[in-house]
């Protein structure tokens, strides 16, 4: 068996098992999986009656699906064969006599590595994410003034960044300043869209849309960015499992937009010495599970300026295709996130170190 | 010192200390606190120089704030006096020589118990939430048909529910069916608004707007519901601390809408035997921290039908002003959440038991 | 289907599915399950070769187990039939071609509700835990002086407590003072044993041994208390799932000691406003999963004195068989935990309220 | 300000603020801090009376400490000056009128970076951990036979490992086999001690004692290993914060044993796709907070064989002084942990890659 090394050429040799417990929920369920295959396993309770088992089997048949029954001493296992999307909508766990219901097929299809069989590359402007090159995105948390954004853009480009990030909290003005910075620096821009009603405006300017962690499960927003062909960077929510992240991405792909980047940016745990717990474990797991490129945001992940560089290097060593770093020319005066932004000179130093680590794992900057 | 018992007459005798660590973030900061008081404490590092300390003090003065310096053997403590909203925007932790910055004022004001000094009551239709009566909300996860919603509405009303809940996933049709169920049953209705663009439509029909857990930090949605005068039930996000929930509620109140209910519905933890971890600890904490009424949703909280009743009773014993229960007449056929909905007859049984517990803690149903 | 109400007469109608993902670990595995039944399900990867599948099947046969193969379109499902204890020791996930391995049998047997088919009662001195009566345990965090422990013991007995708790941090002296308090008050005593080398001494004095949360997975200690016939109260660890708690209890029972109480005392989550997150969801889950009585410790669970009463009432409403409350006559002077202990008069008030709630759910104090 | 890069020469430029909320507990408190300095800040509630404030101030004076009072508009801030160890034992939060109590001094001293002002090096046999060289520890989860341990020891030594690990679950036999493997391979050995009663035996054989994650807060075991002069590797508990880990290490140092290695091995979070969440954020935080060397155990941290290499590389990039890898020559037949152990040839490949990354961050293997 081959191990998952962070080189982009390696075919992942392992796709880890999904948490097998089915949890129903109010979220509307998308339907993209159509394979006619073993989709679900039902395990009955020790005290399930023959009548209950037959009720389940006949209900499965009513739905146009097929049941395969295997009998153990205490429990009966019923395999359900048929289109995954049909099965998902059935409240199998609500039947009398059922102890547990375990999905065999994954709850996503288009994003899975098997679906493409090879890693995807996503173009942001002219920059390719997902190739041998580790792409560095950088910029301030928020666009504050023309001077600020132009000076930061030029400085990070000179240091080696390839994409400019920046939040436009007053959208119209912020987006125009970002566009100006793009003209001056030549860097494509990524910026957040926070609400469906802003999408049209943001899409006019951005080279890549960012969906923030708080909107990772904002399904109407996911659907609408799925209808554009713009690259989308989807950030993992603070309480989102890796599976949740992939299911949210599936929403975007299922609308036809395959230009998706997944971004690990820290989850919420009991640890309080760091702002969040940047979960680098997600990097090799995602590289094995999905063909989509993986970005890591150590700035929000650890949230303390002095520790950002170490986590940036670790992200690259773990196999990230891209890292995103907040840079501010005057953190003391920053409107937000001053405490976690790097100074331009520290960023330049970080890029030099990132380059060394990237080369050590067979990549480049 | 008086203890916090779940009777609504008791004045909370304790407001627990806030997590004292300031974490900056990209989220825009609202500004409602204006008191000219000790707002922040800065603690310097053991190796901070006198120059660094003077730099901090003079910068504080530049901002129109006042610094009080106390010197210890290893560290210096600087109290910052002035309007909280001004101070919040300053990246104090970004200054050289600073070890930590601790807020003294809470990051919310309008929602705090001190602000009103008494518990609030919120009217949903003619039903008062926050009085001696524990209000029971019930209904299906989603509105599926006229028959379904009318039959459930009548059944839960006969059992003792006072408010009808139901998700309208095809909004226009679902809302009309809910309105019809209101006419027939006399129960006011609560339903979710998921996107700013749906607000006008939903507000036309609903007696109470629900903000779902996934939207708890959707600040544009919070602001817009804050501009209506409709009651709003704000559900706690899966990764949201109690403080985060209160800060989100502050957004709504600061736009002028004080008709807010807070809803505990389970947080995400490592435990996998339950769907979420319903955090009943939040009930007495919220009753002490805020004047707003507290609702508990055990259905989504524990997520397993047979365990919903125990958690509903516990919620009332802990002091909840209201509980929300999913009820479905045919869980096997439910489009969503069939595995956690109660049958109407089990709901009727639950109401009887809730009444006993409510009376045991000095309340009524 | 019957719902799980907190009355002790109700037969649990549901045993929730276990987290289905097998996680190997260094912990030695106990072997008490011998049923010759469907014990494990292996699901192969889409790219598994026929050779790999045959390799798995023949290895299973080598082990004296039986394999049942069902073929889907993409994956093959192999049921493994045989003694659970044999299968557990096999690294099934290490075979090439395996995607996931799901246990069907639970990882515990003696503690499971099915094993006895009825709730167990455990006697501590003359006090029965697990009957209709909700048993109240109370006392100080630690035994500090003769005066302190005698006065608290008498006061809590007069208020209605049935068992005296107290930590003996200087074991020999503390245990003698506890024994004296037992003589004076008539209350049986429960105290913690922290190390195998102290067991003999503690067992000489205690009516019930307590295993603290930090020792929940101290397997040598579990084994040794399992060899006594003294009642043991096992506290859930801060990071222990409900399944972990049950597996630890299985260790004690498998040594022959069935006198075990399980105690929920709060888990660690991201919430910082409370000391821990008391997980009352564990109460109905445990009542359905196991025959062992369930104790709740709201003092350590929420960790803030004013909120202890609300959580104590909620615990009883959720179905706890017993609650444990810290009481101190002079919290300002307490050597430890002063901030969460109740005053004797507040404890007396709490017992009155607990009695009302207990009666409301069909129990007594 | 200098950033924390993973090179051992860099002096950490930042010590992140401690979680400021004081949580009392039953754990005995150690007393090593004696500085006469600002140790604690008390913040009063808005409704605190002058009488309550005077009561606090006079009680502080009774204890031989000094109070500095600063008055705000709503709250009063009282700084407590004096020996940290005295103050810690006082239940300041139990006083009427107190809203919160925030420690200024850290709850540990001997382990803190400031205490030594330079990084420590710990010798295991002849191998130095904490120097420029990244030390690789490797070996099986448990010692199974003479053949097994001798063959693995030789193979990992040839690949570049410097220390042999192995669990001796049947202590006497396992330890003798480890000693034989040391003689044959020349590698010093590290093995776990699980109970105070085994310490003498294990100490006879081991070059380094391992305290497992489950025993991280087994204070009697910590104290006893603190009385030896053997190197001790202390693993972080699954629910232990970084601060908790440091406080446990302080126990060992305060008994006189400074030869301590800290090991990050994964914490428990809601994520289920990985066995634990290896928290690499802990690496730069620990390098700044403490002078003790930092080890990372990616095998237990992520728990899935194919993902171990990526996390091992990331650990080195983040600044770890050592990594520990499980290796087994026949994972299919391993008694435990077969699913996460590397094959010897994959381990050899990993060491080559680790060497590249180590050099990229200015270190060596």
Q: Please report which confidence band the pLDDT of residue C37 belongs to, taking 50, 70 and 90 as the band edges.
A: low
pLDDT surpassing 50 at residue D240: yes
Lowest mean pLDDT among A72-81, C255-264, C347-356, D347-356: A72-81
Tokens representing residue A292 in the block: 């989509």
Q: What is the pLDDT of residues C227-245, one digit of tens each?
A: 999 999 999 999 999 999 9
Q: Which of B138, B134, B127, B142 is nearest to B344 (CA)?
A: B138
Q: Pairing state of beta strands B127-129 and B122-124?
A: antiparallel
The residues, ordered by sequence, that sit 6+ positions from B128 with a Cβ below 8 Å of its Cβ are: B121, B122, B135
Q: Give the DSSP H or E segment for B54.
A: helix B50-62
pLDDT surpassing 60 at residue B300: yes
Chains with at least 3 CB pairs less than 8 angstroms from chain C: A, B, D
Average pLDDT over residues C256-279: 96
Average pLDDT over residues B112-135: 95
Long-range (24+ apart) CB contacts under 8 A made by B249-253 are B249/B108, B249/B111, B249/B290, B249/B292, B250/B30, B250/B32, B250/B107, B250/B108, B250/B109, B250/B110, B250/B111, B251/B30, B251/B219, B251/B222, B251/B223, B251/B226, B252/B222, B252/B223, B252/B225, B252/B226, B253/B110, B253/B111, B253/B226
DSSP string, B106-137: -S-STTBHHHHSS---EEETTEEESSSBPEEE
Lowest mean pLDDT among B260-269, C212-221, C262-271: C212-221
Distance from CA of C117 to the nearest CA of D (A): 32
Distance separating alpha carbons of residues B156 and B345, to the nearest angstrom: 9
DSSP string, A238-250: TT--HHHHHHHHH
Lowest mean pLDDT among B60-64, C148-152, D79-83, D322-326: D79-83
Average pLDDT over residues A275-297: 97
> Nearest by CB to C24, which of D194, D195, D336?
D336
Instruction: Give me the half-sphere count of Cα atoms (radius 13 Å) on the Cβ side of residue B261.
Output: 34
* A129 compared with B335, residue with greater pLDDT: A129
Cβ of D77 and B104 within 8 Å? Answer: yes
pLDDT surpassing 80 at residue C327: yes
pLDDT surpassing 50 at residue A33: no
Averaged pLDDT of chain D: 86
> Nearest by CB to C275, which of D23, D214, D272?
D23
Three-class DSSP category at D256: coil
Write out chain D residues lying below 8 Å of C25, CB-based: 275, 336-337
Q: Whats the size of chain C, residue-wise?
A: 365
The residues, ordered by sequence, that sit 6+ positions from D227 with a Cβ below 8 Å of its Cβ are: D255, D256, D257
Lowest mean pLDDT among A340-344, B55-59, C84-88: C84-88
Distance separating alpha carbons of residues C16 and B205, to the nearest angstrom: 38
Tokens representing residue C307 in the block: 């909120």
For an interface test with C, give the residue of B134, B271, B308 to mutate (most C CBs within 10 A): B271
Based on the number of CB atoms within 10 Å of its own CB, is B23 exposed (0-12), middle (13-18) or buried (19 or more)?
middle
Tell me which residues of chain C have a C-beta less than 8 Å from any C-beta of chain A.
1, 15, 17-21, 35-39, 41, 43, 45-46, 68, 70, 72-75, 77, 79, 81, 96, 99-102, 104-105, 114, 268-270, 272
Say what the pLDDT of residue D104 is.
73
* % of chain C at pLDDT higher than 70: 85
Say what the pLDDT of residue A171 is.
85
Distance from CA of A346 to the nearest CA of C (A): 32
Q: Pairing state of beta strands A66-71 and A76-83?
A: antiparallel
Average pLDDT over residues B39-55: 86
Distance from CA of D82 to the nearest CA of B (A): 10
Cβ of C68 and A68 within 8 Å? Answer: no
Q: Is the backbone of residue A186 left (phi > 0), alpha (psi -120 to 50) or beta?
A: left
Three-class DSSP category at A179: helix
Say what the pLDDT of residue B134 is.
98
Q: Please report which confidence band the pLDDT of residue C100 belongs to, taking 50, 70 and 90 as the band edges.
A: confident
Three-class DSSP category at C285: helix
Say what the pLDDT of residue C355 is.
98
Chain B's closest residue to D104, CA to CA, is B43
Distance separating alpha carbons of residues C240 and B111, to the nearest angstrom: 35
pLDDT surpassing 50 at residue B5: no
Average pLDDT over residues B148-160: 97
Distance separating alpha carbons of residues C135 and B71, to the nearest angstrom: 52
- Cα distances (angstroms) measured from residue D148 to each of B167, C146, D138, D178: 61, 58, 14, 11
Cβ of A15 and C41 within 8 Å? Answer: no
Write out chain C residues lying below 8 Å of B4, CB-based: 306-307, 309-310
How many Cβ pairs closer than 8 A exist between chain A and B? 116
* A292 compared with B107, residue with greater pLDDT: A292
Cβ of C167 and D26 within 8 Å? Answer: yes
Averaged pLDDT of chain C: 86
Q: What is the DSSP letter of B267?
A: B
> Tokens 């310490």 appear where?
D199
Lowest mean pLDDT among A112-121, B347-356, D15-24: D15-24
Q: Give the DSSP H or E segment for D262.
A: strand D260-264
Which residues is C43 bridged to in the sheet?
C77, C100
Q: Where are the beta strands (DSSP E) in A33-185?
A: 36-44, 66-71, 76-83, 98-103, 122-124, 127-129, 135-139, 163-165
Say what the pLDDT of residue C227 is.
96
> Nearest by CB to D91, which of C239, C268, C334?
C334
The residues, ordered by sequence, that sit 6+ positions from B54 with a Cβ below 8 Å of its Cβ are: none
Average pLDDT over residues D197-221: 94
The residues, ordered by sequence, that sit 6+ positions from B77 with a Cβ below 8 Å of its Cβ are: B41, B42, B43, B44, B69, B70, B71, D38, D41, D79, D104
Cβ of C310 and B269 within 8 Å? Answer: no
Say what the pLDDT of residue B79 is.
81
* A25 compared with A72, residue with greater pLDDT: A72
Say what the pLDDT of residue A13 is.
30
Distance separating alpha carbons of residues C198 and C202, to the nearest angstrom: 6
Say what the pLDDT of residue A144 is.
93
Please report how the helices D219-226 and D242-254 are oriented relative to each other, as an axis angle in degrees rounded to 10: 50
Write out chain B residues lying below 8 Å of C315, CB-based: 314
Say what the pLDDT of residue A170 is.
83
- pTM: predicted TM-score of the whole model, two decimal places: 0.86
Distance separating alpha carbons of residues D198 and D175, to the nearest angstrom: 11
pLDDT surpassing 50 at residue C359: yes
Contact predicate A215/B218, CB 8 Å: yes
Distance from CA of B208 to the nearest CA of A (A): 19
Say what the pLDDT of residue C85 is.
62
Write out chain D residues lying below 8 Å of A344, CB-based: none
Q: What is the pLDDT of residues C147-164, one digit of tens each?
A: 999 999 999 999 999 999
Distance separating alpha carbons of residues A227 and A229, to the nearest angstrom: 7
Q: Please report which confidence band the pLDDT of residue C93 belongs to, taking 50, 70 and 90 as the band edges.
A: confident
Lowest mean pLDDT among A2-16, A29-43, C290-304: A2-16
Say what the pLDDT of residue A89 is.
62
Write out chain B residues lying below 8 Å of A167, CB-based: 26
Chains with at least 3 CB pairs less than 8 angstroms from chain B: A, C, D
Q: Please report which confidence band the pLDDT of residue C88 belongs to, taking 50, 70 and 90 as the band edges.
A: low
Three-class DSSP category at B211: strand
Cβ of D272 and C220 within 8 Å? Answer: no
Distance separating alpha carbons of residues B98 and D176, to the nearest angstrom: 53
Contact predicate D303/D340, CB 8 Å: yes
Write out chain B residues lying below 8 Å of A95, CB-based: 332
Three-class DSSP category at C274: coil
- Cα distances (angstroms) measured from residue A237 to each of A248, B189, D319, D329, D340: 10, 31, 27, 40, 28
- Cα distances (angstroms) measured from residue D214 to each of B89, B147, D200, D210: 43, 56, 20, 11
Q: Where are the beta strands (DSSP E) in A92-182?
A: 98-103, 122-124, 127-129, 135-139, 163-165
How many of the other CB atoms lie within 10 Å of CB of B170? 10
Q: Where are the beta strands (DSSP E) in D72-129?
A: 76-83, 98-103, 122-124, 127-129
* A339 compared with C1, residue with greater pLDDT: A339
Phi, psi (rounded to 5 degrees) for D98: -90, 130
Say what the pLDDT of residue B269 is.
96
Q: What is the pLDDT of residues B56-80, one digit of tens each?
A: 888 888 888 888 887 766 778 888 8
> Nearest by CB to C331, which of D91, D141, D337?
D91
Averaged pLDDT of chain B: 86
> Tokens 């919120």 appear where?
B122
Average pLDDT over residues D311-334: 92
Write out chain D residues lying below 8 Å of C169, CB-based: 28
Lowest mean pLDDT among B257-266, B325-334, B336-345, D8-17: D8-17
For an interface test with C, give the residue of A18, A83, A98, A100 to mutate (most C CBs within 10 A): A100
Say what the pLDDT of residue A84 is.
62
Average pLDDT over residues A285-295: 97
> Nearest by CB to B242, which of C273, C315, C357?
C273
Distance separating alpha carbons of residues C340 and B252, to the nearest angstrom: 34
Based on the number of CB atoms within 10 Å of its own CB, is C200 exposed (0-12), middle (13-18) or buried (19 or more)?
exposed
Cβ of B281 and C307 within 8 Å? Answer: yes
Say what the pLDDT of residue A340 is.
87
Q: Give the DSSP H or E segment for C314.
A: helix C308-318
Contact predicate B283/B318, CB 8 Å: yes
Q: Pairing state of beta strands A232-235 and D36-44?
A: unpaired
Phi, psi (rounded to 5 degrees) for A205: -105, -40
Distance separating alpha carbons of residues C188 and C125, to the nearest angstrom: 5
Cβ of B306 and C2 within 8 Å? Answer: yes
Say what the pLDDT of residue B82 is.
75
Distance separating alpha carbons of residues C10 and C113, to the nearest angstrom: 13
Chains with at least 3 CB pairs less than 8 angstroms from chain D: A, B, C
Average pLDDT over residues A128-138: 98
Cβ of C17 and A43 within 8 Å? Answer: yes
**Residue A334's Cα: distance from chain center in Å?**
28
Say what the pLDDT of residue C44 is.
85
Contact predicate C122/C129, CB 8 Å: yes
Say what the pLDDT of residue C301 is.
94
pLDDT surpassing 50 at residue D15: no
Lowest mean pLDDT among A47-56, A155-164, C242-251, D271-280: A47-56
The residues, ordered by sequence, that sit 6+ positions from B356 with a Cβ below 8 Å of its Cβ are: C360, C361
């Amino acid at each position: 068996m081959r191990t998952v090394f962070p080189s982009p050429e390696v075919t992942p040799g392992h796709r880890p098992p999904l948490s097998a417990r089915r949890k129903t929920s109010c979220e509307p369920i998308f339907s993209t999986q159509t394979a006619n295959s073993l989709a679900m396993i039902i395990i009955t309770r020790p005290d399930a009656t023959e009548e209950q088992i037959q009720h389940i089997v006949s209900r499965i048949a009513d739905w146009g699906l097929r049941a395969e029954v295997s009998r153990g001493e205490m429990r009966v296992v019923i395999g359900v064969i048929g289109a995954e999307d049909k099965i998902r909508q059935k409240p199998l766990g609500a039947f009398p006599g059922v102890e547990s219901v375990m999905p065999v097929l994954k709850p996503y299809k288009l994003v899975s590595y098997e679906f493409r069989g090879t890693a995807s590359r996503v173009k942001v402007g002219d920059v390719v994410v997902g190739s041998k090159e580790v792409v560095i995105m950088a910029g301030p948390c928020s666009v504050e003034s023309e001077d600020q954004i132009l000076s930061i853009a030029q400085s990070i480009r000179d240091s080696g960044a390839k994409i400019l990030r920046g939040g436009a909290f007053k959208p119209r003005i912020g987006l125009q300043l970002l566009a100006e910075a793009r003209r001056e620096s030549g860097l494509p821009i990524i910026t957040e869209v926070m609400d469906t009603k802003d999408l049209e405006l943001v899409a006019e300017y951005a080279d890549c849309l960012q969906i923030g962690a708080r909107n990772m499960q904002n399904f109407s927003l996911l659907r609408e960015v799925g209808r554009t062909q713009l690259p989308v960077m989807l950030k993992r929510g603070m309480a989102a499992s890796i599976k949740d992240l992939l299911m949210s991405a599936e929403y975007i792909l299922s609308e036809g937009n395959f230009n998706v980047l997944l971004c690990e940016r820290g989850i919420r745990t009991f640890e309080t010495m760091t702002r969040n717990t940047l979960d680098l474990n997600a990097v090799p797991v995602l590289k094995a599970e999905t063909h989509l490129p993986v970005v890591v945001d150590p700035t929000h992940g650890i949230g303390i300026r002095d520790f950002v560089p170490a986590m940036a290097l670790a992200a690259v060593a773990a196999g990230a295709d891209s890292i995103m770093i907040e840079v501010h020319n005057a953190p003391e005066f920053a409107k937000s996130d001053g405490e976690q932004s790097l100074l331009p000179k520290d960023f330049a130093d970080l890029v030099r170190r990132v380059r060394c680590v990237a080369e050590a794992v067979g990549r480049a900057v």
